Structure 1
Amino acid sequence: MDFKHLLATLPSVDHLAGLELLHGDSIVATLENKPGQAGSVRVYHALYQEFGAIDAVAADKGLRLYAEHTADAEAFPGKHPNIDRLIALVDGGTPLAVRLVAA
């Protein structure tokens, strides 16, 4: 299944303005629920709902959810920072907490 179809299976994020990814008390990334980032908000939100944080196991599932975009991110590091972050987590990066930002 491709990303567009997988995305449609994930919970809605209409109630969110975005989410923040945290390492301790430090915000390492902010994803806004707007065109160009809304799909990533939906993926990260679904991972957070299932796993409670973004760790290596959640990241592995996230890479599968990004489908064809994961291969593109692997071929072109830096092109897809939200996928690059998941790749780094699978490779032993520090797990991230999630803070939801209400709309």
Structure 2
Amino acid sequence: MQKFSDVLQTLDDASHVQRIELFNSDGSAAGAIENKPGSQGSVKVYYHLFRMYGEISLDAAVEGLSLFAEHTADAENCPGKHPNVDRLLNLLEDEQPLTVKVTEK
């Protein structure tokens, strides 16, 4: 299995992204990811998924979980430790896509 650090090197640059906001189908907030230390990898993954799928759909969640590599197994074993991975795992269960708003610097 690839390591998350190796996966990140294959994704497009997201340094221009300041924040990614996620919304449920009813328009309510589902979360936000700030481009700051500790969440820059998540910003890269979610930005990639947004560019590929236009939203965080079921297919996007499956790909995202693959991209998060070893963090996906850790999130399954320790719920709450990786909230951005947990969000994708939850989407596999409820199958409700999330809309995405990207704010650039």
- Determine if the TM-score, normalized by the shorter chain, exceeds 0.5: yes
Count of aligned positions: 103
Which residue number corresponds to residue 13 of structure 1? 14
Distance 1:75 1:49 in 2: 29
- 1:28 shift after superposition: 1.6
Distance 1:79 1:93 in 2: 22
Give aligned-pair identity as a percent. 46
Distance 2:60 2:34 in 1: 20
Structure 1 residues 25-68: Cα deviation after superposition (integer angstroms, max 9, x where no partner): 32221100000111101100000100110011100000000000
Distance 2:53 2:71 in 1: 22
Give the counterpart of 2:57 among 55, 58, 79. 55
- Structure 2 counterpart of 1:94, which letter? Q
Q: TM-score, normalised by structure 1?
A: 0.95
Range that drifts further, 86-95 or 56-65: 86-95
- 1:102 shift after superposition: 1.1
Which residue number corresponds to residue 4 of structure 2? 3
Q: TM-score, normalised by structure 2?
A: 0.93
Distance 1:22 1:87 in 2: 16
Distance 1:25 1:92 in 2: 16
Distance 1:27 1:16 in 2: 19
- Structure 2 counterpart of 1:35, which letter? P
**Runs of 4+ displaced beyond 3 Å:** none
Where does the alignment leave 5 or more consecutive residues of structure 2 unmatched?
A: none
- Structure 1 counterpart of 2:16, which letter? H
Which residue number corresponds to residue 22 of structure 1? 23
- What do you get for the CA RMSD once the two structures are aligned? 1.0
Give the counterpart of 1:99 among 98, 101, 105. 101
Structure 1 residue matching 2:15: 3-state secondary structure: coil
